[in-house]
Amino acid sequence: MRRALSAILFLATGCSEGPSEPVDPPGNPAPELGCARMTEVSLAPGESAVLDEAAGSGCIRLPARSGETEYLTVVYSAATAIAPDGISGPYLLRSRGAVAALASPTIGPSPKAAPFQDDPASHFHELLRTRERRLSAPSLSTPGASVSPAPPPLVGQQRTFGVCATPACSEVVPVQVTAVHVGQRVALLVDDALPSGGFAPDDLIRLGRLFDEQLHPLGRAAFGQESDVDQNGIVLVVMTAQVNRLCPMLGGVATGYFYGLDLQPASPGSNGGEVFFALVPDPEGQNGCPVTREFVERVLPGTFIHEFQHMISYNQHVLVRGGPAEESWLNEGLSHYAEELGGRRVPNAHCVAGDCLSQFAFNDISNAYRYLFAPEDSYLLYPSASTGRIAERGAAWLFVRWLSDHHAGGDGFTRALVATGKVGAANIVAATGADFASLLGEWHLANYLDDLTDFSARNPRLSYTSWNLRVTMASLRAQYPGQFSRAFPLAPDLSQGTFDRGGTLRGGSGRHLRVIVPARGQPIDLRLSDASGSAGVLSALSARVAIARIR
């Protein structure tokens, strides 16, 4: 139902009180906010709404009741466009008691979150994904020249591959490898010039079997079919010290990569087949950075399933349908979701310390913590030139996980997100049948309200069904207090009448605010505006306000 000042995009069913028509309310709107008219939002405990700020002046009234009431409010950008530097813009959020005569407080920027170290290797993947998007232009979207069938390698057989020489992968260097394990779906090949202190032969066979018997079928079930441009029915895992040599150039370890160029046999530098490149143990750092065998054993399975999703996605979007590669934010969200699936579905007997969930999904939870610590500081729909900072990877995984929790079909849902010519927000809308802006609002509310004590949502989507976020995040704090400073990372601002906060809205992300309205007191008025306080937020931001009544 459209309103003169705000449009209600979603309201939880079962409401005993719905949002009213915009009215001239009893008493005057707080004059400092510059609101001639308000949209009053009346919600029972547990109910929620998403408001379209762009449809009106951004002025909202939360009415007083007989008892004290509390609301969670999230202002966020529902922009779906992707730009090289991202979609972002300034905003000002203010609240006042409706008739209070208050001195205008100083307006300051949002407080900065504690810094978290980012992933140096992310720049490498940004460059690869950027080059893939150029490859996936319509004129280059077919595999190219026909390829003679290549039989699967035999154990002991040697082959030479071109491996990225630099993070930009503008040139490759030849590396000779030997097949040490060949399964039904995956073959493991190892650099002939391995540094000392690496895997024993039995370790490599065990790793190859994990890829072949557990991770490959898991990836296919969840995301669909990879290509077979070399017509051998095998995905090649190439472990080489050349990946280790990227470390000094990146300032950190790259654990492995897939590059869509290898699925374009006619392109210079292509390996002409389905190849995943991975680092090798190098305890002495002979190839740039010390890398222990234990580290490789722990991270490589998750890296494989992560990159395998990218491989499947490139096939389905580009080679099968001739369309563009998936937008980075959703592509990475699905790949981190693949890691989590590895933790849930691989039997513990195959994992380090008998704990697959910790081995595969710890980084996903850690990344999510970093995002929730300061959502406003990160994008969900991040710039086209980026594959996401650590916190943004956390946001993308959380969003895909939340979507999967609330849309039936299990693996069918994620396969639908991959087996399509649609990308980004349009892909989400097609798979869910829901309004993207409303989904974002519900997700932002769920990020705080999930398992909140004494809160019962009328809308089941204001939660996660797969994780208890509060318990999980508290366990991070308990185990690693030096890295995780809060038991729960998301700590909304609090307003009991007067509040001023300026900041930046970034695509898909926003800021949380708890509003407490005193019993039998004056209502609380809020206004979302541009930085000047006199006009609406930039239209390109598609600003929205999500509200849930906590009590």
- Residue-level pLDDT at 244: 97
pLDDT in tens, 211-249: 999 999 999 999 999 999 999 999 999 999 999 999 999
pLDDT of 114 above 70: no
pLDDT of 457 above 50: yes
pLDDT of 479 above 70: yes
pLDDT of 147 above 80: no
Find the mean pLDDT for residues 111-140. Answer: 68
pLDDT in tens, 377-414: 999 999 988 889 999 999 999 999 999 999 987 899 99
Query: Considering the entire predicted model, what is its pTM?
Result: 0.91
- Spatial strand order of the sheet with 88-97 comes to 39-40, 59-62, 524-529, 88-97, 499-506
- Residue-level pLDDT at 108: 41
pLDDT of 508 above 50: yes
Find the mean pLDDT for residues 39-68. Answer: 89
pLDDT of 18 above 70: no
pLDDT of 13 above 60: no
358 or 8, higher pLDDT: 358
The domain limits of the chain are 152-299
pLDDT of 44 above 80: yes
pLDDT of 14 above 60: no
Report the percent of the chain where pLDDT is more than 70. Answer: 88
Distances in whole angstroms, Cα of residue 355 to Cα of each of 142, 346, 352, 472, 477: 41, 10, 6, 15, 19
Cβ neighbours for 243, distance < 8 A, ≥ 6 positions apart? 163, 164, 254, 255, 256, 257, 277, 278, 279, 280
Residues 22 and 38: beta-carbon distance below 8 Å? yes
Find the mean pLDDT for residues 2-14. Answer: 32
- Residue-level pLDDT at 107: 39
Neighbours of 478 (CB within 10 A): 10
Find the mean pLDDT for residues 528-535. Answer: 89
